Amino acid sequence: MNKISIIIPIYNVEQYLPQCLDSIINQTYKNLEIILINDGSTDNSGKICDNYAKVDNRIHVFHKKNEGVSSARNLGLEKCTGDFIGFVDPDDFIELNMYELLYNEQQKTNADIVWCNYSLYYSLNKQIFGEINSNITYNLLNINEKNDFYSDLFYKYNMKAYLWNKLYKKEIFSNIKFPYKKIFEDLFVFIYLISKANKISFINKKLYYYRQRVNSICNKTHIHSTFNIDMIESYIKSSIDYKYFSNNNNVSNILSFHTYLFVLKNILFYQKCNLYKSEKKYIISQLKLLLKTNISIKNKITILRIAYFPNLYRKIKLLRHPKLIKK
């Protein structure tokens, strides 16, 4: 039976951590390596990690200074010894058979990545379900299936870049590092990760609970300039990567168009964005890379109008957060 390494970056989550760890140590799949990276917590999270390690020898705890979730995940990748890798965020929890079901699907299909459904989990047990609605496997060595996958990734799965509802072959992460001190670190590496896969499977089972809380990193920093610059940069990078790995198909051009709108909205309209001139210059230079596409003339004109006459377009529906088009 293959070993699965589960990497958990931890920072000041003492309220939620026991529920998370209980859901992992009680998995029906037993051959686990549970790697806890305490990223300089100032609450009791580190003590909770050490206490769990005393009662379960599959748990390995590493304490480090606070450098952010990317640094913690990179350390986890360095320390893990499993044949497969999974990620769980410390304020979330999972079904007790999650890794057994993901592993069984992997053994059946030999997929490089197996992807399950999830729920957004709110207080009072309110749940909103994820996007997967069927079981399917894509063989990315077949050009037609590869095109289908990238189209479905955009339309059906909404480009979900989350790391945590997936099981990966370890070799997928060779030569991959999460960007240092970046928010939206998933999106920075997501397209590159799936580009290394020969086969990807989806299972229509709700196995992961993604907790929504007001004081999470993303919710807490959405008005901060660092959040905006990282968010902008990640959207641009993922669009460029998507165009490259999807053979510059029509779907990638739609994504590029939405990226233009999203980036320009952040630069022009967000009162609290507070981008420095150097940051704006960098973003504009990155946008020029996206201009080298076959986006339609109509869409390019829309982009130029927004750039040069922003006051006319403040209330355009297209300038909302880009919800990717569905069939």
DSSP state of 177: -
- Spans of all domains in the chain: 4-218, 221-319
For residue 33, pLDDT beyond 70: yes
For residue 16, the model assigns a pLDDT of 95
For residue 39, the model assigns a pLDDT of 96
Q: What angle do CA 314, 326, 168 make, to 5 degrees?
A: 110
- DSSP H/E element including 225: helix 225-245
pLDDT tens digit sequence for 192-249: 888 899 999 999 999 999 998 655 544 444 444 444 566 666 667 777 777 777 777 7
Whether the model pTM is above 0.85? no
Q: Which residue has the higher pLDDT, 301 or 91?
A: 91
Rounded CA-CA distance 216/29 in Å is 29
Would you call 286 helix, strand, or coil by DSSP?
A: helix
Q: Which amino acid is at 33?
A: E
CATH superfamily entry for domain 4-218: Spore Coat Polysaccharide Biosynthesis Protein SpsA; Chain A (3.90.550.10)
Tokens of 213: 């809380």
Contact 102, 4 (CB under 8 A): no
For residue 272, the model assigns a pLDDT of 46
Residue 309: phi and psi, rounded to 5, are -130, 60
Rounded CA-CA distance 59/6 in Å is 10
Please state the rounded mean pLDDT for residues 3-30. 97
Q: Which amino acid is at 173?
A: F
Q: Which residue has the higher pLDDT, 211 or 50?
A: 50
For residue 83, the model assigns a pLDDT of 97
Of 166-170, 233-237, 258-262, 265-269, where does mean pLDDT reach its minimum? 265-269
Rounded CA-CA distance 95/28 in Å is 10
Rounded CA-CA distance 210/232 in Å is 23
For residue 169, the model assigns a pLDDT of 97
Which whole-number Å values give the CA distances from 48 to 43, 45, 99, 213, in the listed order?
A: 10, 5, 23, 21
Rounded CA-CA distance 308/320 in Å is 18
Task: Please state the length of the chain.
Answer: 327
- Encode burial over 6-36: b for 16+ CB neighbours within 10 A, e otherwise: bbbbbbbbeebbeebbebbbebebeebbbbb
Mean pLDDT of the chain: 79
Rounded CA-CA distance 116/88 in Å is 13
